[in-house]
């Protein structure tokens, strides 16, 4: 006869081919459908019912199939009689059924009275009773945070040393493990005079419980096994419980799952399936135990082939499953498992905004979003449907995610939603949120000027408050600067707010990227640097000088006219830029290196390959009858140019940043990079230098007019 792992471990199960099912209650009383019979009995007998009879009826009501009105006369009579009889109890008072009933009905009517009896020592010390009392006290502390509950818990825990664990049944273990796990929380331990003594009592007791669990598996259903896995892991995570002891729990549960997973898969919910995956992953990730590969593959097979018929997954469940299987990293077919989870996510219609975004972020991190574009489409429509119901921080996180995936630029409907929300709620936005919405707005082609004015005014008001200034984060300031650099013209109002924040906070000293970003912005718009702002910049230079990368140095040397003052050349290592043409180009503009013609022409060709800009410019030049040459390296090999027009004007192309700003008179003015290049061109006898920005073209309402302005009207 084929023996199971349970049988080999001397665990007796009557029928190896039938999954065991635990009785929901300790005593097999007949289940009650409604309250009619019970309330009739209360009416007739309430005046002379004893404590045990009251508790029995109360517990029956907790398992009632049809919900009932707790304000009815009969129920209130029962509660009154139960309270009276409990007051008169002494000695070994049994609380298990009472606590079970209170827990199921969500009542606290007798909580203080139960605690009083426990404090007096009037409680039964049987294993089942102790497990219920410990659960009750830990729950009370969780809800109310009273030190008294923690001290009573520590008092009762001492009784565990005299407990015969062989009398613990699986339903007792439910209560016991939940109670002990809650007792390991820092907030619970802080309420104890001697927390280490209590932890030691528990840790000495649990090894015996593990042996009893193995024996009790014969009465478990699969949901009990999942509960035990989670409870023991939480306890281990919060305590000093030995890893070797945890192995016994996992061995017993693995033996059960090996025998009954296939038979019992229909007896659990989608949430419990996700919980099981999570706990198996926890065991492996924390090197507590590695479950058998066949079991893991069987779970994946159930997910792929049976989940649509057996389970309904919430978004949180899908998150737990994908995190779990990715942590285990042992697939029979990863593509099938991932596709199954993607399909489950696409079918979900419930509203769990933050969880849904977290799931999409996980998919994105795993590279799944690129393979499954339908996910991004669903996210976009989900966001629009839920926009008016989302919490503001969640809404902003969605916007950032869509921005990261290029879903903001041409979305006119999105801009209208943002504008409407901002107009109604701008007064409740914090500074970091205002800066994020400003950045999102600046990335949209259909920028709403009224929204920008609201942000300017709201920012000015909040900047005046020192407390709100101190709440600005590095990320918020970076959003503001990036948004300002996307402005066609210099935004004086937000620029003033930015300078105030730089001077009044130390954020520039904290984050190197923010520092480099601010220096580039200040140079692009040639902002006025007063003494206090200059002092803040000098301090930031000192703070970051030793941490600057070579790319940072190349950036700062181009955008800082005083680069020699800060001795940036002293820590520059030009040899590191051999394969970094973008950095070499910046250094060449300052005369520090010469460019290689082959690399320069390759850079122009790569840019041309991504667009037909060179062809369009040629057409415009031909229409104007202009003489031109293409692809040059000029100015003593310091400056590359895509075109030389009429032997006097150099024109180049840049991709991901703005090259020009619009002046009050409507004319284009070069930003720092173009300005430095123009000075170099003029010094070498050229009439002018002009820079075409693909980013600026994207935002131009008339691309041809933009090109004509750059080529002929500057």
Residues 622 and 701 in one domain: yes
Which residue is listed with tokens 């009995």?
41
Which residue is listed with tokens 């996700």?
274
Domain boundary among 560, 592, 624: 592
Residue 96 pLDDT class (50, 70, 90 cuts): very high
Residues 435 and 534 in one domain: yes
pTM (two decimals): 0.80
Query: What whole-number distance in Å separates Cα of residue 568 and Cα of residue 574?
Result: 12
Residues 466 and 575 in one domain: no
Any alpha helices (H) in 265-333, and if so which ranges?
270-285, 293-310, 315-328
Residues 504 and 580 in one domain: no
Residues 421 and 511 in one domain: yes
Residue 652 lies in a domain: yes
From 520, 522, 506, 452, select the one nearest 474 (Cα to Cα): 506
How many helices (H) and strands (E) would you count in the chain?
37, 6
Residue 301 lies in a domain: no
- Sequence-distant (6+) residues with CB within 8 A of 592 are 557, 569, 572, 574
Query: What whole-number distance in Å separates Cα of residue 183 and Cα of residue 195?
Result: 10
Residue 55 lies in a domain: no
Residue 642 lies in a domain: yes
Residues 470 and 483 in one domain: yes
Residue 168 lies in a domain: no
Provide the mean pLDDT of the chain: 88
Secondary structure class of 207 (helix, strand, coil): helix
Residue 667 lies in a domain: yes
Query: What whole-number distance in Å separates Cα of residue 556 and Cα of residue 519?
Result: 7
Residues 446 and 506 in one domain: yes
Residues 667 and 690 in one domain: yes
Give the mean model confidence (pLDDT) for residues 445-471: 94
Q: How many domains are there within the chain? A: 3
Residues 672 and 709 in one domain: yes
Residue 65 pLDDT class (50, 70, 90 cuts): low
Residue 636 lies in a domain: yes
Give the mean model confidence (pLDDT) for residues 443-458: 94
The domain in which residue 567 lies consists of 548-592
Which is higher by pLDDT, 175 or 636? 636
User: pLDDT per residue over 167-176, tens digit each?
Assistant: 888 788 888 8
Residues 522 and 557 in one domain: no
Query: What whole-number distance in Å separates Cα of residue 654 and Cα of residue 558?
Result: 15
Percent of the chain residues topping a pLDDT of 90: 59
Residue 49 lies in a domain: no
Residues 530 and 616 in one domain: no
User: pLDDT per residue over 248-262, tens digit each?
Assistant: 889 888 988 988 888
Residue 640 pLDDT class (50, 70, 90 cuts): very high
The answer on pLDDT for 98 being more than 50 is yes
The strands making up 639-645's β-sheet, listed across from edge to edge, are 628-634, 639-645, 649-654, 688-693
State both tokens at 711: 């080529």
Residue 674: Cβ within 10 Å count = 25
From 370, 432, 372, 436, select the one nearest 400 (Cα to Cα): 436
Domain boundary among 539, 558, 584: 539
Residue 471: Cβ within 10 Å count = 14
Q: What is the CATH number of the domain that holds 632?
A: 3.40.960
First to last CA, the chain: 93
Residues 609 and 702 in one domain: yes
CA distances to 358, 475, 577 from 362, rounded to whole Å, are: 6, 21, 35
Q: What is the pLDDT of residue 31?
A: 55
The answer on pLDDT for 496 being more than 80 is yes
Question: What burial letters (b/e) apply to 576-614, b meaning 16+ CB within 10 Å?
Answer: ebeeebebbbbbbbbebbebeeeebeebbeebbeeeebb
CA distances to 312, 337, 342, 678 from 325, rounded to whole Å, are: 18, 9, 14, 57
**Residue 693 parent element (H or E):** strand 688-693
- Sequence-distant (6+) residues with CB within 8 A of 411 are 402, 444
Which is higher by pLDDT, 13 or 128? 128
């Amino acid at each position: 006869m084929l023996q199971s792992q349970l049988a080999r471990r001397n665990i007796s199960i009557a029928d190896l081919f039938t999954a065991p099912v635990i009785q929901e209650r300790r005593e097999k009383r007949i289940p009650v459908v409604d309250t009619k019979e019970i309330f009739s009995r209360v009416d007739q007998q309430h005046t002379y019912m004893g404590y045990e009879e009251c508790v029995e009826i109360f517990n029956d009501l907790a398992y009632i199939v049809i919900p009932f009105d707790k304000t009815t006369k009969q129920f209130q009579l029962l509660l009154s009689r139960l309270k009276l009889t409990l007051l008169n109890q002494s000695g070994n008072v049994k609380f298990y059924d009472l606590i079970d009933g209170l827990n199921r009905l969500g009542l606290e009517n007798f909580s203080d009275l139960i605690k009083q009896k426990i404090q007096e020592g009037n409680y039964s010390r049987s294993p089942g009773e102790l497990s219920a009392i410990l659960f009750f006290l830990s729950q009370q502390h969780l809800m109310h945070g009273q030190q008294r509950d923690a001290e009573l818990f520590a008092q009762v825990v001492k009784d565990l040393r005299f407990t015969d664990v062989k009398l613990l049944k699986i339903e007792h273990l439910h209560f016991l493990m939940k109670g002990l796990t809650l007792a390991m929380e820092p907030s619970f331990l802080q309420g104890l005079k001697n927390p280490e003594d209590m932890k030691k009592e528990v840790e000495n007791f649990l090894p015996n419980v593990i042996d009893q669990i193995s024996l009790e598996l014969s009465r478990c259903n699969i949901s009990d096994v999942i509960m035990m896995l989670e409870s023991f892991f939480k306890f281990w995570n919060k305590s000093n419980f030995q890893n070797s002891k945890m192995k016994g729990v996992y061995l017993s549960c693995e033996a059960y799952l090996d025998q009954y997973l296939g038979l019992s898969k229909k007896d659990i919910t989608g949430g419990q399936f996700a919980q099981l995956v999570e706990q198996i992953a926890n065991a492996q990730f924390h090197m507590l135990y590695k479950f058998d590969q066949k079991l893991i593959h069987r779970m994946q097979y159930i997910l792929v082939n049976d989940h649509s018929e057996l389970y309904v997954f919430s978004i949180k469940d899908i998150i737990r499953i994908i995190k779990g299987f990715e942590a285990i990293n042992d697939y029979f077919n990863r593509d099938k498992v991932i596709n199954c989870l993607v399909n489950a996510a696409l079918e979900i219609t419930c509203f769990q905004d933050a969880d849904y975004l977290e799931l999409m972020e996980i998919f994105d991190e795993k590279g799944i979003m690129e393979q499954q574009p339908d996910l991004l489409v669903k996210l976009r429509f989900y966001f629009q449907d839920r926009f008016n119901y989302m919490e503001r921080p969640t809404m902003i996180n969605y916007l950032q995610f869509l921005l990261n995936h290029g879903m903001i630029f041409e979305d006119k409907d999105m801009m209208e939603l943002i504008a409407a929300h901002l107009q109604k709620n701008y007064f409740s936005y914090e500074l970091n949120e205002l800066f994020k919405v400003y950045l999102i707005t600046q990335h949209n082609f259909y920028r709403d000027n009224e929204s920008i004015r609201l942000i300017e005014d709201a920012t000015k008001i909040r900047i005046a408050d020192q407390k709100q200034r101190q709440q600005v984060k590095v990320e918020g300031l970076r959003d503001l600067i990036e948004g300002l650099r996307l402005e066609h013209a210099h935004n004086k109002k937000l620029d003033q707010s930015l300078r105030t924040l730089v001077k009044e906070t130390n954020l520039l000293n904290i984050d190197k990227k923010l520092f480099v970003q601010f220096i580039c912005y200040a140079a692009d718009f040639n902002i006025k640097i007063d003494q206090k702002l200059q002092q803040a910049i000098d301090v930031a230079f000192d703070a970051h000088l030793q941490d600057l990368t070579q790319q940072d140095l190349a950036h700062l040397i181009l955008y800082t006219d005083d680069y020699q003052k800060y001795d940036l050349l002293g820590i520059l290592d030009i040899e590191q830029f051999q394969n970094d043409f973008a950095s070499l180009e910046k250094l060449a503009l300052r005369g520090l290196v010469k460019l290689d013609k082959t690399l320069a022409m390759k850079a122009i060709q790569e840019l041309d390959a991504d667009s037909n800009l060179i062809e369009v410019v040629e057409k415009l030049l031909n229409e104007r009858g202009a003489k031109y040459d293409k692809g040059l390296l000029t100015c003593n090999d310091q400056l590359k140019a895509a075109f030389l027009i009429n032997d006097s004007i150099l024109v180049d192309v840049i991709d991901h940043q703005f090259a020009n700003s619009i002046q009050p008179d409507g004319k284009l003015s070069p930003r720092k990079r173009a300005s430095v290049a123009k000075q170099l061109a003029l010094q070498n006898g050229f009439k002018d230098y002009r820079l075409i920005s693909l980013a600026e073209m994207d935002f131009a309402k008339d691309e041809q007019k933009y090109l004509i302005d750059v080529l002929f009207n500057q």
